[in-house]
Copies of this chain bind each other. A is one copy, B any other.
C-alpha cells in the first residue's frame, strides 16, 4: 500500500466554491435540507460529477450518486461520501468535506486513468442534519430500510410545517427508486472530527472505530409549588432542587466512569417558573453516551438508580421516558484496519478513536461494511460559523480516503 495523493488545491477550491451557497456574513453557512441553497449546492455537485465523467443518478429520497463503472460492474461497488446540508449558522466543512473529498477521489482516479475492478461512487446524502426535518440522517435511513420513503416524505419542516416530499419535488431532486445504490462492498466517509481531540493532540487523522451509543431520557421530578416566603426549608418538596442534585450526580457518575462515558443535561423546564415560587415540576432532558453497548446499558441502570435516590431524598415524585436509544456502532474492523494502515503508510500522525456524534455512516453501517476518517477542526468547533480546518488536513484526509478506496475497489 502506498498513500495516494489528491489535488489539495482543487479540493480546497471546491470546498470554498460550495460554501458560497447559504454563506453567512460571519463565514459560516445556512444550507438547510431541501432549501433553495441546498438546491444550488446539489446543482453544482451534479455539474462536477458530470464533468468528471460520472453517471449521475438521484434516488427517491434525493440522494445523489455519481458512479464510475469498474471492470467488473456486477461486483458490489465502493461508495464514498457524506452530505451537503447544514444546520442554521453552521460551518463550511461539516458534510461538505466528505462529499467533495469523495468527488475529488473519483476525479483523481479519472485523471490518472486508473482502471478499477469495482464500480466506485461519490454520494451526497439528503438531510443529514435533522435541523429542518426530524429526525436526522434521513437519506441513508431510506436506503437501509429504517424508514419507508413515504414516512420520510411526510416529515414536516419543524418551523413551517411544509412536507419533505413537497420540498424534495420543488427543488427538482425527487428521483426514483431505480436511482438507489446497490448494497456496496464498503462505504467510507471522511468528516471533520467535530470535537477537540485531534486538534489538541496535533494529530492529522482520526481512525474511527465506531460511534458511541446514545440514550435520551426525559425525566420529570414532581414536588409541591409553594410560596418562597413561607414553608421552612426542611418541609419543602422543591422539584428544581431535585433536578439540580441529579444534574450534579449524573455529572459525577460520568466523571467516575471515565473513558467514553458522557452525560449532558441540555434541556430543563421548570413550573411555574416564577422567582418567588418553589418549583413544583422540573423536566430535564438527559443525553448519555458510551462506546460500548453493554456498558451503556449498565450506565443507564445506574442513572435510573440516581433518579430514584434523588426523588426519595427530596420527597419528590418522578417518572422518566426513554425518548431515543441508539446502540453503539462498531465499524467494520477490516476497513478500520485499512484506514489505519493508510495513515501509517503515509506517515500521517493518527490515532484510533470513537466518534461521539451521529453521521450518515451510523445508518450505512447497518447496511454494508463502513468506516470513517476524521480530520481535525480548529478547537473542536462545529455546528457554528467558527468551524475551521486547514487545506493540508483536508487533503490528508482525502489522501487516506483515496488510498483505502483504491485498495477496496481493486479487491
Contact = CB atoms under 8 A, between A and B. Distances in A.
Contacts of A160: none
Contact of A279 (B234, B261, B266): B266
A286 B244 CA distance: 14
Copies of this chain in its oligomeric complex = 2
Given A240-B247, A245-B248, A248-B248, A264 B228 contact: yes
Contacts of A229: 194-195, 212, 214, 262, 287, 289, 355-358
Nearest to A274: B266
A255 interface: yes
A126 B234 CA distance: 35
Contacts of A268: 240, 268, 270, 273
A5 to B, nearest CB: 29
Interface size class of A (residues with CB under 8 A): 35 or more
A249 B270 CA distance: 19
Contacts of A212: 229
B266 A275 contact: yes
A197 to B, nearest CB: 8
Nearest to A260: B232
A53 interface: no
Interface in A225-275: 226-235, 238, 240-241, 243-245, 247-248, 251, 254-255, 261-268, 270, 272-275
A48 interface: no
B227 A383 contact: yes
Interface string A63-99: 0000000000000000000000000000000000000
A56 interface: no
Nearest to A228: B264
A286 B240 CA distance: 12
Contacts of A272: 266
Contact of A254 (B233, B243, B267, B273): B233
A411 interface: no
A264 B278 CA distance: 6
A134 B279 CA distance: 21
Nearest to A279: B266
Given A267-B270, A268-B273, A274-B267, A357 B247 contact: no
A403 interface: no
Interface in A169-202: 193-197
A156 interface: no
A51 to B, nearest CB: 35
Name the residue among A226, A229, A262, A380 with the largest chain B CB count within 10 angstroms.
A229
A20 B224 CA distance: 27
Nearest to A261: B233
Contacts of A234: 255
A235 B196 contact: yes
7 closest Cβ pairs, A-B complex: A195-B230, A229-B356, A275-B285, A228-B264, A244-B247, A229-B357, A244-B244
12 contacts: A194-B230, A195-B229, A196-B232, A228-B262, A230-B380, A233-B263, A238-B264, A244-B244, A244-B245, A244-B248, A248-B248, A264-B275
Given A240-B247, A266-B270, 12 more contacts: A216-B275, A226-B380, A227-B356, A227-B357, A229-B289, A229-B356, A231-B380, A238-B264, A245-B248, A265-B279, A266-B274, A267-B273
